[in-house]
A and B are shown apart, each in its own frame.
Chain A
């Protein structure tokens, strides 16, 4: 794995929150904004908030994961990075796998952290919060993998790629949402285990799907 560390360091420097002029903070702020606005919209009834809050956190997490997609791969294809990596014999699959790891590191753990103030705002109790956090831990790698796949598939689009990728992510993310948010109502480990299983499948597919999509975009 030549250059694995070099690639990962560059990716993290670009995608960690706070890097590159604050653009990277947008998903986190969006996530917190939803949690903050939701009680204003449905009213302060603590029972309603506690019953629906976990699901809101999941929806907010999913939508926050869509925000960075258009700058995940497209800039590197346009500025010739993928060509240069290919000349050096670094496979697109390796680049995409590294990018997936960096993408997850830069939003998964931070989303789990942001879920703490969000749960306070939504009046979620400790037990539910634990389920939410475990579910996010199991589900965010899958969300990151979906994001990478969609970013790679739409990488060749000149304009409107961001809107289209948002639309494409939503149906793919529905299984994660059903089992992840579903684990809240059943309170069970079963939902989280299924979420983790879906995540693992998606993470395994993503480098190959993404690599093939990037090669196809280069031919265009």
Chain B
């Protein structure tokens, strides 16, 4: 498998009338992780969506090698189905989610529960399971720690650490601290217009 790579050159993002950031370049290779920081509304989610090619940047370009997975505020799981069947839909496209992953995420006992009855933290862990099943080389995580308890936060940190140790690449946008060894930090407000370039 080719080594993953994610690069962006001179990105700018405009939402409505507001320029959120400009002149942003980044370069990540396999085994590297980056933590995108910044308060609400600085454009973290927009950056993630631009890197995933779901949003066109106002300027600049994105280059990517390798398969990609996205975890954001949406679950992409059918609310009315039991969790097991909702995940099975994605397993049909991506290949089965391993039982180890499910038990690590504490979902084994929840497979019969309809998705709409899950709590905030359980929903986040279910979305993580969906993402893990994808076996993608590049992880784009948008606020993955929202609504998670302390144990689950540690679990996400461990998953990211294992992912990059296995040659993967991860970009995590979060206003919360996340401790993963060797993680770069990209402070998004540094690229807001009006700051010194």
Asked whether, in the complex, the Cβ of B89 is within 8 Å of the Cβ of A6, the reply is: yes
A6-B93, A88-B94 known; A80 vs B56 contact (CB < 8 Å)? no
B54 on the A face (CB < 8 A) = yes
A1 on the B face (CB < 8 A) = no
A87-B70, A218-B54, A218-B55 known; A80 vs B93 contact (CB < 8 Å)? no
Asked whether, in the complex, the Cβ of B55 is within 8 Å of the Cβ of A10, the reply is: no
Q: From A14, A78, A84, name the one whose CB has the most chain B CB atoms within 10 angstroms.
A: A84
The range of chain A's interface size is 20 to 34
B52 on the A face (CB < 8 A) = yes
**Residue in A10, A78, A90, A219 whose beta carbon sits within 8 Å of that of B89 in the complex:** A10
Shortest distance from the beta carbon of B61 to any chain A beta carbon, whole Å: 17
A158 on the B face (CB < 8 A) = no
Asked whether, in the complex, the Cβ of B74 is within 8 Å of the Cβ of A78, the reply is: yes
Asked whether, in the complex, the Cβ of A80 is within 8 Å of the Cβ of B75, the reply is: yes
Interface size on B, residues (CB 8 A): 23
- Residues of A within 8 Å of B75, CB to CB, are 79-80
Asked whether, in the complex, the Cβ of A88 is within 8 Å of the Cβ of B70, the reply is: no
Identity of the chain A residue whose Cβ is nearest the Cβ of B79 in the assembled complex: A79
Is chain B's binding surface mostly helix, strand, loop or mixed? loop
A78-B74, A80-B74, A80-B76 known; A86 vs B93 contact (CB < 8 Å)? no
- Residues of B within 8 Å of A130, CB to CB, are none
Identity of the chain A residue whose Cβ is nearest the Cβ of B136 in the assembled complex: A87
Asked whether, in the complex, the Cβ of A86 is within 8 Å of the Cβ of B94, the reply is: no
B68 on the A face (CB < 8 A) = yes
A126 on the B face (CB < 8 A) = no
Interface string of A1-35 (1 = CB under 8 A from B): 01100100110001000001100000000000000
Identity of the chain B residue whose Cβ is nearest the Cβ of A7 in the assembled complex: B93
- Residues of B within 8 Å of A10, CB to CB, are 78, 89
What are the nearest 9 A-B pairs in CB distance? A80-B74, A6-B92, A80-B76, A84-B76, A3-B93, A81-B76, A79-B74, A10-B89, A87-B68
